Each structure stands twice: as structure tokens, then as C-alpha cells.
Amino acid sequence: MCDSTVYIMINFKRIDDRTNYSLRPVSFKLNPLKTGPSCKISVGNVRDDKGNLTGIGGRTTVIAILMFSSETKSKNAPGSFHKPHMEVFVRPASGTIKSSLRSIESILLKIMQRLIKVDRLGKVTLSLRLQIMEDSGGLLSVCINTLILCLYLSGIDMINVPYSVSVGIVRAGSDSMVEDLVILDPTDYEIATYWEVSLITIDSGSGLYGNSLTQIKSLAKKAAVKYMEEVEKLKNQSSKSL
């Protein structure tokens, strides 16, 4: 899960009139690319089944594919001859690759390494390629979810199937009697207009979550259940159409 620590005014109102615990509309396609397990996720102002736009503002869209090779690049590393080699490449919608994308690559690679049951793969290279098409906030969580879906569709054994949600903690200020608020899925407009943001991990022990950690975990769990139900439904539909 990725989290944004938020410092803003007390009279906070979301730009798209969502409740604090609502996620932006999400749309995804399974296996849009035919050369390997792939998925495309769009979050934000996406179109519903009738073609109508469902939100306000822009979208964050990422398309990803998981590629396999029998030639492992880790064959010369001590003790890694029979282990898979994993790599992640993230490409921007335009322009050069910035350090922020390198950081996303590093995070995705660590998640990939910790999730996969490597003892059942053997000597193989797994290469995840992500293309950012649009970015209007929550990019890291969308990239994590595309990674998870690609692994899920590939049939590779994973320790678990997590779901990533961007979380914001609205700080009322040390001199205020108002309690901190927890919000889900902040947009880039909200971030740029109302607050400063810093990336932290789920629970790092630093105390940045305050008393909000239990509520964050509960909200994320509910979002994950709903998300995976939709994934299973689309996966079954795809299987029937083959």
C-alpha cells in the first residue's frame, strides 16, 4: 500500500465530491496484448458500460505485460543458478525517464521478488514492462496493481494477492481540536492544490499514521475485496470467450 501524509486546511472538500472513503472509478482490461500475460488499468474519469464518463478530471492509465525467457541473466551470480531473474521497466507517457520512475521500478521489483514462490520457477527470466499512458494521481498504486494482475494472470504461484490503495491522512494541525481525517485515492489536483505529500510505507513504525492505522487497514481490505471480485468476474468472462 502507498500512503500520502497530508497537511491541509480544516475546511477540506474533495474536488470531485467523493466521500473521504471513496475510490475513483476504475476500469481494466485483461490480456489486451497477445504476446504474454498483460493488463490495462485506468483510474479516474473512465467510461462505463454505456460509454458515459464516470468522474471528474483526468485519468491514470497504465498498461503492462509480463515476459518470459529461458535464458536467465543471473547465471553468473553465486548461488543463483537455479533461481529466476526478475526485472522491471517503467516507461513514461512522454519525455525522459526521471528518478521518480526509477524509484517505482525499484519498489515494483522488491514486491515481485517477495511475492513469487521462486522455488517453483527455476532458471527463467521474468521481465515486467509497464507503459504509463496517463497520470492524474495514484500512479504508484496503479503500477503495483498492474504488476499483481500480470502475475495473477500468468498462473505463477504467489504468497498472496495484495491490492494497493493510495491513502491520505488529513492533518488538522497541532493547535486544532479537529481530529485527523483519512481519505482514499487522492488525485494529483488535490495534492497540488491543498497539501504537501511524502511517501511512507505501511506501518514503518515511525508513528506518521498516528491513530489512523487501524482505519486505513480496514478501508483497504474492503476496497481489495471489491476489486478482486471484479477481477474474478472479468477473468471468467475472458475464459468463456476463448
For CATH 3.30.230.70, list the domain ranges present in the chain.
Answer: 28-136+143-159
Write down the pLDDT at residue 196: 45
- The 10s digit of each residue's pLDDT in 11-20 is 667 777 788 7
* 28 close to 41: Cβ distance less than 8 angstroms: yes
Q: Is the pTM of this model over 0.85?
A: no
229/240 Cα distance (integer angstroms): 17
28-136+143-159: which CATH topology? Ribosomal Protein S5; domain 2 (3.30.230)
48/239 Cα distance (integer angstroms): 22
* 15 close to 57: Cβ distance less than 8 angstroms: yes
- The 10s digit of each residue's pLDDT in 140-171 is 999 999 999 999 888 888 888 888 888 776 66
- Looking at the chain, the whole-number percentage of residues with pLDDT higher than 70 is 68
- Indicate the SS3 state at residue 121: coil
Write down the pLDDT at residue 142: 92
- The 10s digit of each residue's pLDDT in 74-99 is 555 555 556 788 999 999 999 898 89
